Chains A and B, each alone.
Chain A
Amino acid sequence: MIRYLIQKEFLQIRRNAFLPRLIVMFPVVVMCIMPWVMSMEVRNIRVCVVDNDRTTHSQRLVHQIAASDYFIFTGRKPSYRAALAEVESGESDVILEIREGRYLIAANAVNGTKGSIGSAYLSQIVSGAAEGASPPALSSSLILYNKHQNYKLYMIPALFAIIMMMMTGFLPTLNIVGEKEAGTIEQINVTPVRKWAFILAKLIPYWLIALFVITVSLLLAWAVYGITCAGPLVWVYVLAMLLALFFSSLGLIISNYSDTMQQAIFVMWFFVVCILLLSGLFTPTRSMPEWARLTTYANPMHYFIDAIRTVFIRGGGFAAIAHQLLALLGIGLFMACWAVRSYKKNGG
């Protein structure tokens, strides 16, 4: 019986004017554009220099800055005040003032990351140039896993999370509320269809689509960016399916409690934003205050992101992600039970 229901879902997806295009376009757009956009890499920092010394040394320094990949030299200013005006109008990000062999770096720190990284780079150049061949660098660093400091590598696993969320969270939610609004769900409710069969028939197509989309994305990551999975690929799929279980259950719960698409979308969006922001997808969870860090123990996205980055970037295997897998499974099953319970074929 479930076979017919699944068949019906696929037919409806195919007939929809919009969905097939979305399913094809989505991974392509996401994989081709997002990695470029979702980069918090600090580049092209605009520096203006207030050179009070006008020595050959300071000249050389300015050349060095202009030659660096990170900086764009926007020009010399006669005074600190003039330079500040430059920053205020948004023409420059960092001021370097040179006075009697001493250096002042003033960075616009409205964006803290940019301010601190930018000033750190600049002070490296400055102190390198200032001290010349004086004491050798005291420290060196070895960067593991993401050797080329490629931000795209860091973000691509996060994109998988976003893809799963869209495909297995939002689409089934819209689908079920749509049937509610059209009234066809009433017809289904008077048939002997079992609750779980109806729900499963709604989810399986989207799970399959999500798998397809993930595969396409993996291929695109390899073809466009030359980025491949460092660990065993099977765990990427296992993790994706576990996340799908959670998101589709969440979507179902929300659609069971809402009457209109608008409501469902808003509520879903609200939860998704909170889950995403608190997951460590964009910012490290350990920088969060205690209360926020506590919520990550219940946040499946947190486990997913942790695990998939371990597999994808650091090349970890089952042992490295066992506890995340377990947590994801637990949360997913809990949500699934709730979803089936909250779907009522027989209104009170």
Chain B
Amino acid sequence: MKQFVSFIIKESKHILRDRRTMLILFGMPIVLMLLFGFAITTDVRNVRTVVVASPLSAESRQAVGRLAASEYFTITATVSTPQEAELLIRGQRADMAVVFAPKRGGIQFIVDGSDPNMAQQWTAYAAQVTAGPQSSAVNTKMLYNPQMRSAYNFVPAIMGMLLMLVCAMMTSISIVREKEKGTMEVLLVSPVRPLMVVVAKAVPYLLLAVLILVLILLMARFVLGVPLAGSLFWIVAVSILYILLALSLGLLISSLAQTQLVALLLSAMVLLMPVVMLSGMLFPVESMPQVLRWVSAIVPPRYYISAMRKLMIMGVGIREVAREVLILMLMVIVLLTIALKKFNTRLE
């Protein structure tokens, strides 16, 4: 036990003394949370709009007035022909043009379609705004995220990414570093059980990950105003399950890699890329081709992020995320077994 404690102390010292890495480890969550919370939004806002009309009818003047008053659109210019408007759009000085064609009595929107999503949203919003208040048979209600803030969507994703990064990457690198420096030889030859070496390596990173988890949750709640709708107990419990999963992945990588560089590349390519790309963090899984959807089925953060979105944002009970939790548990068991089997008590 004494050995175990001194092991953990030693490991913590390594972490604490590497100031730059520490700074990144804690700076990263804060910066990412702020960026995703405030800066990275897909909200429709400040769309630069050009009005095309030779003589403006009273009706169209009203429509323009409504556009200018809305927070979505900014009228930047008024030109007389659609061609002029198009030039402005190509020169990146406008995003959208509103053409009032008095003959047909309709409105045409010319949008920069480079970003299809935004183009669609702009036209939808513009149509709504110009049409003015009218009673419709259709009533739309946005559940869980009435203001449609991107932060609600991104916070669980950031948690999935950061916890994976901290646990898997840092653990694997710190184990491989000992291999590379030759200290692993001494540790293995010592009477300490190899399993203990590994567990002691993982404990400080587990604590670090929990610390980061707390930091993220606090920031999400009090800085970004993202609700923690579900039970805090289950949020933390599922997160710890996920941290364990990430630690076993790190362990597995460390037994495959011989040098820090390989460990780094392995964790970057095998972990980080799929996490960012295939977990549904930024890009919805449903829109991918079938093959990629199958691949994403084995990416652990996918389940974690999905579970977190449900627990944190939608505020559902643990029963609704039972499937995700079960899959995560299964993954932990499988990965941990493989990792421990693979862990070499010798050099080969």
Contact = CB atoms under 8 A, between A and B. Distances in A.
Interface stretch (B85-93, B193-201, B215-223, B337-345): B85-93
B256 interface: no
Nearest to A112: B148
Nearest to A127: B138
B7 interface: no
A265 B264 contact: yes
B57 interface: no
Contacts of B21: 262-263, 266
Contact of A284 (B109, B118, B136, B260): B118
Contacts of B114: 145-146, 153-154, 309, 313-314
A191 interface: no
A75 interface: no
A197 interface: no
A139 interface: yes
A42 B287 contact: yes
Contact of B150 (A33, A112, A151): A112
Range, interface on chain B: 35 or more
A272 to B, nearest CB: 12
Nearest to B74: A286
A107 B118 CA distance: 19
Contacts of A136: 106
Contacts of B89: 144, 314
A112 B149 contact: yes
Interface residues of A, number: 89
B111 A266 contact: no
Nearest to A323: B92
Contacts of B278: 37
Contacts of A283: 40-42, 150
A38 B264 contact: no
A337 interface: no
A123 B113 contact: no
A130 to B, nearest CB: 5
Contacts of B121: 113, 116-117, 120
A38 B152 CA distance: 20
B224 interface: no
Nearest to A101: B137
Question: Can you list the 5 inter-chain pairs with the closest CB atoms, starting with the nearest?
Answer: A112-B148, A292-B39, A146-B113, A143-B113, A109-B142
28 contacts: A33-B292, A40-B284, A41-B116, A42-B287, A105-B138, A107-B140, A109-B144, A110-B153, A112-B150, A113-B42, A113-B117, A119-B142, A126-B137, A139-B106, A139-B123, A139-B130, A142-B110, A143-B119, A145-B113, A147-B113, A149-B119, A263-B18, A284-B42, A287-B43, A288-B38, A292-B38, A292-B39, A320-B92
